[in-house]
């Protein structure tokens, strides 16, 4: 294909995408001259180029659109939904013709006579309505006039973002010279400056000065960008992947030598490789706005189709993602947006009845957090109907009535992601057929992301998607099991637990034949990696009793523990695909090459969990029952996590960890006084401080330990949205203890005493102490 045609296609494709957005935007601010002029220019450029390249049919369609636009621009017409739809249809037609050109290098057989007639009619209709039946021919004549002026710079007025405009502005060129130069430009692809100089209408130095002025006026134009093929970027990325592997090997090698010079070089190489990796990664980053750009149009068309009034708000369009991920989330996002408009947001009458603004708001929000990208799709519609989903789930046999009663609203909401699940009363052509939400979930999970849905009846629904920034190079935890090495992607990792040899017996219990570990009072189902992967078939017997390593991971919002032989290291690994022969095994998501050149498998935590059926409903139910029983059993002698603190004369005190929202350290200078109360500024609020040593001081004299080093150790306790800081001398420890409370409540502020770590320790009555010092604490919170 001709270079020129190729350029034209790329440029026009981008222009059309922008047109979609601008037209929708124009609908909400029809008086914006700037927008209209921009739209007009875009169409005009397309029309001009097709005339030049000989795409006559395309030119005709664009011309019809241009005529309509020129009348809008000249204020002879006002924009309405009908005209917008007509113009959008024109954009679609142009797009499909461009597609044809890409395939066949011809602009197709379709003349789009109907569309052209419709566009003509739109011009006429408004005219007759306005001017009371002005003659069609007159309108046509004026239309012709408008287009011809549109061609010259005079019609547009001097455009200060173009060289010609600048020259006129400065008086270096006469408008009529520019007009003739522009006409000359339409004939050949030369720069306007060159033509002007050639015609003797301008001096070269003026043109150069004007060029600089233009570049400084629109920085986008001056930005030095070039187009690079995506394939090239992909190859670069692969090569960088190889380099990272070679770097890992080199580092391993350099650690085993004593040669200082070599070590220095490898360190330098290490830094460069890391930097290079980051930079190359950036070249593949694209703003999420590239996907969102088409949503204004989608939402508009859809809302119009179902007679709703929807405003789309977008925040964080420039949040960047790897292009492979952008591709992967395109469809799921589109589906969610359509769903919101179709099901989420109510019809205008309904909204009016319940006292909401007639216009529904659909909000897209994207932001980076913890190395991941968060995308939120929020509507202010009716929200999910918990009762209906529950009912439907029971009816479909997805869950039992008993289970349904136990499930939280959040768990119920997430049922909508099950295949074939739809609560839509009526199936529309958009959604409601029960396909979709499950596809959304699988697609997002395929790229290592998670989906969650939150909803408040009558207030709206929010779908939250979390996805990794990139897929090519990921941080992973390396473990060994049965003599083999495996990589666990860091995104699925929660924490590591090590049970010492002695403890491992009591640390692991059995529930219905399945192993579990009690982690901070919750039952964590366990999967033995070696057993799950059948690593001991060869007959090498279980190794001698040693410590047990549990890697706590999460998949599908549920946690479980993976028991492995050894946890070695975290490493940046390059994900490589495996051959077709191994695609069917869900336990792996790929393979990678380690520093020693050997291959290691990357575990697919979700696949593994499904394989081990560790997140099945039956297991869940069994665990829940056991958990309940366990709680009852423990009610007498409760085992709980306690924070041990040291404060003044009182000595050691224990605070249930459940009551502690944070541990903070403040410089003594951060204390301010509000009346007689010591306070400090904490997270934008004023937080009262209570010195525990003062509360418990028998003679009123205060311990000075706290202020010695000028820093205060503060235990933050929150209740009903208000926080209070308990100042202690020292944080001693966090212990997991069975509490047997003795001599209860002898003094104020103390619940009783217990033996913790073989020492008598008072158990602090936190709410009691707080109320003792600040009598109105809870009440004022309630008022607020």
Q: Which is nearer to another protein, 524 or 587 (CB)?
A: 587
Residue 305 interacting with another protein (CB under 8 A): no
Chain centre to alpha carbon of residue 424: 27
Chain centre to alpha carbon of residue 724: 34
17 burial level (CB within 10 Å; 0-12, 13-18, 19+): middle
What lies within 8 Å, CB to CB, of 195 at 6+ separation is 181, 184, 185
Q: How far is CA 462 from CA 15, 409, 444, 726, in A?
A: 32, 14, 16, 36
Residue 242 interacting with another protein (CB under 8 A): yes
Q: Which is nearer to another protein, 400 or 613 (CB)?
A: 613
Residue 783 interacting with another protein (CB under 8 A): no
Q: Which is nearer to another protein, 537 or 673 (CB)?
A: 537
What is the chain's length?
784
Chain centre to alpha carbon of residue 473: 19
- Candidate list 405, 546, 597, 667; residue touching another protein; CB under 8 A: 597
- Candidate list 533, 551, 690, 714; residue touching another protein; CB under 8 A: 533
Q: Which is nearer to another protein, 583 or 701 (CB)?
A: 583
Q: Compute the least distance from the CB of residue 489 to another protein, in Å.
A: 17
Residue 580 interacting with another protein (CB under 8 A): yes
- Candidate list 81, 129, 208, 585; residue touching another protein; CB under 8 A: 585
Q: Which is nearer to another protein, 587 or 605 (CB)?
A: 587
Residue 572 interacting with another protein (CB under 8 A): no
**Separation CA 234–CA 281 (nearest Å):** 10
Q: How far is CA 140 from CA 37, 71, 84, 121, 559, in A?
A: 21, 11, 20, 11, 70
**Separation CA 202–CA 621 (nearest Å):** 84
**Could you tell me which stretch among 498-506, 571-579, 640-648, 751-759 binds another protein (CB under 8 A)?**
571-579
| Ramachandran quadrant class, 397 (left: phi over 0; alpha: psi -120 to 50; beta: rest) | left
**Could you tell me which stretch among 67-75, 127-135, 549-557, 590-598 binds another protein (CB under 8 A)?**
590-598
- Candidate list 39, 166, 245, 615; residue touching another protein; CB under 8 A: 245
- Candidate list 426, 506, 541, 598; residue touching another protein; CB under 8 A: 598
Residue 584 interacting with another protein (CB under 8 A): yes
Q: Which is nearer to another protein, 126 or 565 (CB)?
A: 565
Q: Compute the least distance from the CB of residue 417 to another protein, in Å.
A: 25
The phi, psi pair for 650, rounded to 5°, reads -60, -30
Q: How does DSSP assign 184-195, residue by residue?
A: HHHHS---HHHH
- Candidate list 98, 362, 600, 692; residue touching another protein; CB under 8 A: 600
Q: Compute the least distance from the CB of residue 248 to another protein, in Å.
A: 12
Q: Which is nearer to another protein, 588 or 696 (CB)?
A: 588
In 396-515, which ranges are continuous DSSP H helix?
Answer: 401-406, 409-413, 437-446, 504-507
In 29-151, which ranges are continuous DSSP H helix?
Answer: 33-53, 56-73, 81-104, 113-131, 136-151
**Could you tell me which stretch among 128-136, 478-486, 624-632, 700-708 binds another protein (CB under 8 A)?**
478-486
Of 179-198, which residues contact another protein (CB under 8 A)?
none
Q: Compute the least distance from the CB of residue 534 to another protein, in Å.
A: 6
Which of the 8 DSSP states describes residue 340?
Answer: I
In 152-285, which ranges are continuous DSSP H helix?
Answer: 153-156, 163-169, 175-187, 192-198, 204-217, 219-222, 230-255, 260-283
Confirm if 143 and 123 have CB atoms less than 8 A apart: yes
Q: Compute the least distance from the CB of residue 472 to another protein, in Å.
A: 14
Residue 588 interacting with another protein (CB under 8 A): yes
What lies within 8 Å, CB to CB, of 465 at 6+ separation is 329, 332, 333, 374, 375, 376, 377, 444, 449, 450, 451
**Could you tell me which stretch among 27-35, 401-409, 587-595, 720-728 binds another protein (CB under 8 A)?**
587-595
Count residues contacting another protein (CB under 8 A)? Answer: 26
Q: Which is nearer to another protein, 579 or 721 (CB)?
A: 579
**Separation CA 572–CA 76 (nearest Å):** 63
Residue 61 interacting with another protein (CB under 8 A): no
- Candidate list 291, 552, 601, 654; residue touching another protein; CB under 8 A: 601
HSE-CB for 188 with a 13 A CA cutoff:
7
**Separation CA 637–CA 740 (nearest Å):** 6
- Candidate list 69, 312, 479, 591; residue touching another protein; CB under 8 A: 591
- Candidate list 131, 232, 271, 582; residue touching another protein; CB under 8 A: 582
Of 135-174, which residues contact another protein (CB under 8 A)?
none
Q: Which is nearer to another protein, 75 or 483 (CB)?
A: 483
Q: Residues 330-334: contacts with CB within 8 Å, 24+ apart? A: 330/291, 331/439, 331/443, 332/439, 332/440, 332/443, 332/444, 332/465, 333/291, 333/292, 333/375, 333/377, 333/465, 334/294, 334/295, 334/298
Q: Compute the least distance from the CB of residue 537 to another protein, in Å.
A: 9
Of 665-694, which residues contact another protein (CB under 8 A)?
none
Q: Compute the least distance from the CB of residue 229 to another protein, in Å.
A: 22
- Candidate list 577, 667, 744, 775; residue touching another protein; CB under 8 A: 577
**Separation CA 652–CA 769 (nearest Å):** 16
Q: Compute the least distance from the CB of residue 244 to another protein, in Å.
A: 11
Angle at 412 between CA 406 and CA 416, to 5 degrees: 155
Residue 535 interacting with another protein (CB under 8 A): yes
Binding mask 435-474 for another protein (x = CB under 8 A): ----------------------------------------
Contacts with another protein by CB under 8 A lie at 242, 245, 482, 484-485, 533-535, 576-582, 584-585, 587-588, 591, 593, 597-601
């Amino acid at each position: 294909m001709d270079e020129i045609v190729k350029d034209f296609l790329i440029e026009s494709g981008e222009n059309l995408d922008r047109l979609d957005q601008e037209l929708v935007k124009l609908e909400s601010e029809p008086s914006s001259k700037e927008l209209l002029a921009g739209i007009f220019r875009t169409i005009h450029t397309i029309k001009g180029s097709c005339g030049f390249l000989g795409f006559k049919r395309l030119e005709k369609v664009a011309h019809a659109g241009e005529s309509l636009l020129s009348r809008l621009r000249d204020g002879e017409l006002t924009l309405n939904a009908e005209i917008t739809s007509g113009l959008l249809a024109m954009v679609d037609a142009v797009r499909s013709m461009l597609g044809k050109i890409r395939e066949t290098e011809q602009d197709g057989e379709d003349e789009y006579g109907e569309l052209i007639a419709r566009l003509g009619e739109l011009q006429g209709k408004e005219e007759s309505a306005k001017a009371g039946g002005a003659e069609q021919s007159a309108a046509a004549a004026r239309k012709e006039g408008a287009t011809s002026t549109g061609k010259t710079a005079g019609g547009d007025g001097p455009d200060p973002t173009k060289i010609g405009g600048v020259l006129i502005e400065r008086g270096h060129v006469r408008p009529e010279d520019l007009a003739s130069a522009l006409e000359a430009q339409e004939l050949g692809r030369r720069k306007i400056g060159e033509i002007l100089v050639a015609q003797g209408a301008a001096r070269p130095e003026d043109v150069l000065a004007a060029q600089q002025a233009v570049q400084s006026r629109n920085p986008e134009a001056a930005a030095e960008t070039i187009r690079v093929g995506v394939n090239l970027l992909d190859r670069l990325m692969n090569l960088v992947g190889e380099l990272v592997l070679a770097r890992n090997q080199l580092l391993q090698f350099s650690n085993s030598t004593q040669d200082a010079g070599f070590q220095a070089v490898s360190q330098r190489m290490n830094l460069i490789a890391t930097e290079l990796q980051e930079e190359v990664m950036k070249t593949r980053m694209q703003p999420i706005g590239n996907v969102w750009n088409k949503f204004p149009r989608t939402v508009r068309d859809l809302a119009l189709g179902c007679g709703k009034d929807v405003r789309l708000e977008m925040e964080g369009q420039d949040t960047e993602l790897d292009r492979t991920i952008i591709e992967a989330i395109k469809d799921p996002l589109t589906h969610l947006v359509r769903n919101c408009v179709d099901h989420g947001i109510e019809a205008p009458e309904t909204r009016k009845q319940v006292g909401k603004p007639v216009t529904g708001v659909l909000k897209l929000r994207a932001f980076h957090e913890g190395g991941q990208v968060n995308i939120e799709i929020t509507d202010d519609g009716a929200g999910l109907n918990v009762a209906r989903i529950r009912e439907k789930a029971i009816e479909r046999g997805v869950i039992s009535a008993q289970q349904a009663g136990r499930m939280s609203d959040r768990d119920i909401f997430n049922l909508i992601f099950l295949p074939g699940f739809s609560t839509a009363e009526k199936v529309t052509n958009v959604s409601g057929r029960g396909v979709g939400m499950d596809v959304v979930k699988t697609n997002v999970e395929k790229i290592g992301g998670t989906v969650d849905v939150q909803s408040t009846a009558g207030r709206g629904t929010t779908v939250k998607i979390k996805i990794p920034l990139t897929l090519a190079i990921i941080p992973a935890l390396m473990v060994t099991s049965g003599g083999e090495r495996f990589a666990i992607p860091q995104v699925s990792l929660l924490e590591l637990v090590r049970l010492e040899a002695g403890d491992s017996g009591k640390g692991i219990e059995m529930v219905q034949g399945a192993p579990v570990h009690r982690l901070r009072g919750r039952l964590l189902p366990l999967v033995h990696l070696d057993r799950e992967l059948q690593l001991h078939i060869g007959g090498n017997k279980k190794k001698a009793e040693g410590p047990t390593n549990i890697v706590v991971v999460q998949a599908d919002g549920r946690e479980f523990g993976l028991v492995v032989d050894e946890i070695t290291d975290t490493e940046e690994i390059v994900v490589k695909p495996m051959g077709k022969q191994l695609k069917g095994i869900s336990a792996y998501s790929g393979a990678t090459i380690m520093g020693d050149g050997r291959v290691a498998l990357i575990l697919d935590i979700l696949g593994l969990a499904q394989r081990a059926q560790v997140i099945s409903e039956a297991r869940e139910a069994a665990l829940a029952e056991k958990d309940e029983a366990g709680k009852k059993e423990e009610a007498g002698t409760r085992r709980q996590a306690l924070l041990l603190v040291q404060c003044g004369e009182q000595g050691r005190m224990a605070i249930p960890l459940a009551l502690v929202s944070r541990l903070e350290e403040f410089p003594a200078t951060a204390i301010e006084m509000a009346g007689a109360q010591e306070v400090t500024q904490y997270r934008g609020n004023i937080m009262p401080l209570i010195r525990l040593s003062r509360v418990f001081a028998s003679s009123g004299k205060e311990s000075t330990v706290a202020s010695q080093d000028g820093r205060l150790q503060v235990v933050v306790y929150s209740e009903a949205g208000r926080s209070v800081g308990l100042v202690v001398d020292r944080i001693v420890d966090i212990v997991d203890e069975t509490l047997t409370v003795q001599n209860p409540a002898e003094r104020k502020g103390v619940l009783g005493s217990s033996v913790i770590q073989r020492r008598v320790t008072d158990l602090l009555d936190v709410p009691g102490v707080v109320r003792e010092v600040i009598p109105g604490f809870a009440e004022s919170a309630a008022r607020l």
